[in-house]
């Protein structure tokens, strides 16, 4: 019977069932609209400066597609696992939701590890730093800001899980987890454009 706790008591959209939840939901979407503009400014600068290499290494020489591909797969899969978590949330499976969010966080950690390895590799093997060229500044600011968002997301979900593990699913905790899932998808959206504009276009020349 215990495994059959699903779909009782909670309404169809528990994340928007209270005024508090509605406000958070709307406010968070507006925040994401603002985040889009933040990243757009960094993308615009990157596109303007991507050939300003100051005589140093070029993007075509620097980037290795297999590493970027693995990182992309990690983040894309983590987006799917947070979709599973959201579906568990909507059907009132608290433990299943926590499980999927843990997997999401671990995949995010894997992505972050790859990014740290990548930056370290660029700095020490190629001398490509934030100070070496205008392109270097634009690259580390754009990709680094995205990485900081991933780090922020991992910290957020870790704290959410620890704080709410004993509370279980209700109309108070549902909006919190739902917003995290939205944030995580947004991070994936930004990464889609980073791997396209920065890495793939960097290889094309």
Find the shortest distance in angstroms from Cβ 25 to other proteins. 7
Please answer whether residues 108 and 153 qualify as being in contact, where contact means their C-beta atoms are separated by less than 8 angstroms.
yes
Query: Which is closer to other proteins, CB of 89 or CB of 112?
Result: 89
8 A C-beta contact, residue 74 and residue 115: no
Nearer to other proteins, 63 or 123 (CB): 63
User: What whole-number distance in Å separates Cα of residue 7 and Cα of residue 153?
Assistant: 28
| Long-range contacts of the stretch 149-155 (C-beta < 8 A, 24+) | 149/187, 149/190, 150/75, 150/108, 150/111, 150/112, 150/115, 150/187, 151/112, 153/108, 153/180, 153/183, 153/184, 153/187, 154/105, 154/108, 154/109, 154/112
Looking at beta carbons only, is 33 or 55 nearer to other proteins?
Answer: 33
CB of 127 to other proteins, least distance (A): 24
What is the closest distance, in whole angstroms, from the C-beta atom of residue 30 to other proteins in the complex? Answer: 4
Please state the φ and ψ torsions of residue 151, each to the nearest 5 degrees: -60, -45
Which residues are CB-contacts of 102 (< 8 A; sequence separation ≥ 6)?
Answer: 161
- Comparing CB distances to other proteins, the nearer of 36 and 120 is 36
Residues found near other proteins in the complex (CB under 8 A) = 7-8, 12-13, 16, 25-26, 29-30, 32-37, 39-41, 43-45, 47-49, 65, 69, 72-73, 76, 79-80, 82-84, 86-87, 90-91, 182, 185-186, 188-189, 192-193, 195-197, 200-201, 203-205
- Report the residue number, 87 or 114, with the smaller CB distance to other proteins: 87
Name the minimum Å distance from CB 23 to other proteins: 11
Shortest spacing between CB 35 and other proteins, in angstroms: 7
Structure tokens that stand for 113 in this block: 């590890």
Shortest Cβ distance from residue 121 to other proteins (Å)?
20
Within 10 angstroms of residue 67's Cβ, the number of other Cβ atoms is 15
Considering beta carbons, is residue 148 or 200 the nearer one to other proteins? 200
Name the phi and psi angles at 91, rounded to 5: -100, 10
């Amino acid at each position: 019977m215990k495994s059959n706790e699903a779909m009782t008591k909670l309404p169809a959209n528990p994340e928007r069932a209270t005024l508090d939840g509605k406000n958070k939901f709307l406010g968070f979407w507006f925040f994401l609209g603002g985040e889009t503009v933040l990243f757009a400014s960094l993308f615009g600068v990157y596109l303007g400066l991507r050939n300003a290499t100051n005589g140093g290494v070029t993007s075509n020489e620097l980037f290795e597609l297999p590493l970027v591909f693995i990182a992309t797969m990690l983040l894309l899969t983590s987006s799917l696992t947070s979709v599973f978590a959201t579906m568990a949330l909507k059907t009132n499976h608290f433990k299943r939701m926590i499980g999927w969010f843990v997997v999401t966080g671990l995949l995010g950690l894997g992505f972050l590890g790859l990014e740290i390895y990548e930056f370290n590799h660029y700095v020490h093997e190629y001398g490509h730093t934030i100070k070496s060229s205008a392109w270097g500044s634009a690259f580390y600011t754009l990709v680094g800001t995205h990485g900081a968002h991933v780090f922020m997301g991992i910290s957020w979900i870790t704290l959410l899980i620890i704080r709410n593990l004993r509370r279980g699913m209700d109309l108070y905790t549902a909006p919190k987890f739902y917003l995290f899932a939205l944030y995580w998808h947004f991070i994936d959206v930004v990464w889609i454009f980073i791997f396209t504009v920065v890495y793939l276009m960097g290889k094309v020349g």
